[in-house]
Structure 1
Amino acid sequence: MANKSRLLVKSDFETLSEFRYQMRRFERFSERAAAQEGLTPQQYLLLLHIKGTPDRTWASVGEIAERLQIQPHAAVALVSRCEALSLVERRASTVDRRSVEVHLLARAEVLLQRLAAMHRAELKSLGGAFQVPQIDLADPV
């Protein structure tokens, strides 16, 4: 028997459209907030993902590339630009000397605290408008 999903209905498209709209609104807010602090959106996200790495205070270039959904060589270039701005520094891993850890510097910590607070306030202001859409794509019974 062929596996057929139900067709999406108008309300499904409305839900997806609203979700994408709210997501883009938040992204645009984030771009503007980063620019006001003298950062590009990618630089802000780099700092955020380093700070948000679970159970550590640093991230590898590979982890940064994955989180930003960019190629590793692009992540290396981004880290280099942030290093030139005294936002991050590379350190040799104490566990594996072949690995490099990317750490936040004090200037980045200050910027990140300010930006993260603005982002949290913006998310709160959106209220329930920014929720993952619930669309049933299960097979009909």
Structure 2
Amino acid sequence: MSSPLCKQDFEYLADFRYRLRQFLRFSEELAQSHGITPLQYQLLLQVQGYPGRDWATVAELAERLQSHHHSVVGLINRCESQQLLRKAPGRNDGRQVEISLLPKGLELVEKLAQAHRDELLLLKDLANSPSPDLLLNIQQALKTGN
């Protein structure tokens, strides 16, 4: 059984949640200012950032977005209508659909990802602790009881 939480544990968790929400709000507003929804940005990011290749299947994207297959299909269709991505039959399995970015989608995701990286660096500086390590710091503090 884990030890009870102390005041500092709550402070770490609350600060992490606050900074996470700041980042998410920034992301939402940035996507909308570029004419897409936050979820459309997430889709473009997952396609471009899929490990080892520059495309992903609908099923893979549904997993990465933690969403239902049919919801992701609708999201893909909306992005396709904006000429951000394209669908193609699967290379190894014709029942699958591969999603890849079109030049307009690639340009947009590069611009938004750069701004997101800059915002993460700003939050890191404001927090006076490394943002990517914040969760690890919280986890370590909770384990040690400090």
Question: Per-residue displacement from partner, 1:26-63 (whole Å, max 9, x unpaired)?
Answer: 00000111011111000000000000001111011111
Structure 2 match to 1:16: 13
Structure with greater contact order relative to length (CA < 8 Å, sep ≥ 6): 1
Unpaired runs of 5+ residues, structure 1, are none
What is the rounded CA distance, in whole Å, between the counterparts of 1:18 and 1:63 in structure 2? 32
Q: Are residue 127 (structure 1) and residue 133 (structure 2) matched?
A: no
Structure 1 match to 2:86: 89
Q: Are residue 54 (structure 1) and residue 37 (structure 2) matched?
A: no
What is the rounded CA distance, in whole Å, between the counterparts of 2:69 and 2:4 in structure 1? 38
Would you say the 8 A contact 2:86–2:99 is kept in 1?
yes
Q: Are residue 104 (structure 1) and residue 101 (structure 2) matched?
A: yes
Structure richer in helix, relative to its length: 2
Unpaired runs of 5+ residues, structure 2, are none
The number of residues matched between the two structures is 136
SS of 2:98's partner is: strand
What is the rounded CA distance, in whole Å, between the counterparts of 2:143 and 2:62 in structure 1? 31
Where do residues 63-78 of structure 1 align in structure 2 (5 Å cutoff)? 63-78=60-75
SS of 1:39's partner is: coil
What is the rounded CA distance, in whole Å, between the counterparts of 2:84 and 2:31 in structure 1? 14
SS of 2:4's partner is: coil
SS of 2:95's partner is: coil
Q: Are residue 41 (structure 1) and residue 41 (structure 2) matched?
A: no
Segments of 4+ in structure 1 off by > 6 A? none
Q: 1:31 aligns with which of 15, 28, 31?
A: 28
What is the rounded CA distance, in whole Å, between the counterparts of 2:86 and 2:7 in structure 1? 50
Q: Are residue 136 (structure 1) and residue 133 (structure 2) matched?
A: no
Greater shift, 61-70 or 81-90, is seen at: 61-70
What is the rounded CA distance, in whole Å, between the counterparts of 1:74 and 1:114 in structure 2? 25
SS of 1:90's partner is: strand
Q: Name which one, 1 or 2, has greater alpha-carbon Rg.
A: 1
Instruction: Percent identity, please.
Output: 44
The normalised TM-score by structure 2 is 0.88
Would you say the 8 A contact 2:84–2:102 is kept in 1?
yes
Would you say the 8 A contact 2:58–2:96 is kept in 1?
no
Post-superposition shift, 1:137?
4.2
The normalised TM-score by structure 1 is 0.91
